[in-house]
Amino acid sequence: MVWLRNVDSIVAMVRLSYALKISACISIVLFLYTFTLPHKKLDKKEKVSILPKEAIVVLCRPQNLFICVLLFIIFSSFQYYIFSIGPFLRQSMYNESLIIPLMSVAQISEALCLGVLGYFIMKRDYKFVMFVGLICNLWRFVALFLGSSVPLILSALISHGLASAFFFTTACIYLDSQCENNYARAGVQQIACILSYGMGASFGNLSAGRMNTLFESKISEFVNYKAVWLIPTLICGFIVILFVVFSQRHKKPIIQMNERK
């Protein structure tokens, strides 16, 4: 972020290549570090099924199935932000050299939220933290819909990091807490990733691209971003209402982190 500050687009792209190389090296180090993590030895005599039956049993519970549906829809809406935020800032006359550092605000807020996420889950519960994440997710698109002023953009970017940490990460931790053994846990996390990063991201990316094309002026090549942002705003608003209604109908408290076996 510091490297890309107050420089023109050409210098920024050159410096960005250095950042990508450093990121690649860190990824390799983390990959090698995973080999040092403790692991459970599998019993070779135990039968292993290709179909994750235990995970399917866990996900068939109403609350867990509802969370999986939300993961798919929320990640679909995420793609509107990821696909459109750069071009939106560029069209809003933000300096090219400021766009990438500005977008880094979302990653910074997410990193800070992850540091305190465990505290909030222990003090409240999964349901409350996920609700906060959904509200942040909604506000992100509301702010972008309202305009492109610096306060609105910053609040939207910060909300993106909050939504990612408070909803997605919390949802994954919650699903993990519903599993009784490692086999079910691995299967549940794989299915959750397929629904979110796989199906949700793919569907959302195609949808966002289609909407950007649909609302683009053929003459001026300007995109009507108010119309683009309105779509995920309505979707996320509906999700918040759906979450509240579902929570009222299923008032059985979700287990706390410190109650997990």
How many domains would you assign to the chain?
1
| pLDDT at residue 252, as a whole number | 55
| pLDDT at residue 261, as a whole number | 42
> Does the residue 18 lie in any domain?
no
Domain of 109: which CATH number? 1.20.1250.20
> Does the residue 219 lie in any domain?
yes
User: Residue 125: left (phi > 0), alpha (psi -120 to 50), or beta?
Assistant: beta
Q: Residue 63: CB partners within 8 Å, gap ≥ 6?
A: 250, 254
Q: Residue 26: CB partners within 8 Å, gap ≥ 6?
A: none
> Does the residue 1 lie in any domain?
no
> Does the residue 2 lie in any domain?
no
pLDDT along the chain (261 residues), means of 10: 52 68 90 84 63 82 90 92 91 83 86 88 88 94 93 93 91 88 82 90 92 86 91 94 85 48 42
| pLDDT at residue 48, as a whole number | 61
> Does the residue 30 lie in any domain?
no
> Does the residue 104 lie in any domain?
yes
CA atoms of 253 and 63, how far apart (whole Å): 11
> Does the residue 69 lie in any domain?
yes
> Does the residue 99 lie in any domain?
yes
- Parent domain of 188: 52-259
Chain centroid offset of residue 121 CA: 18
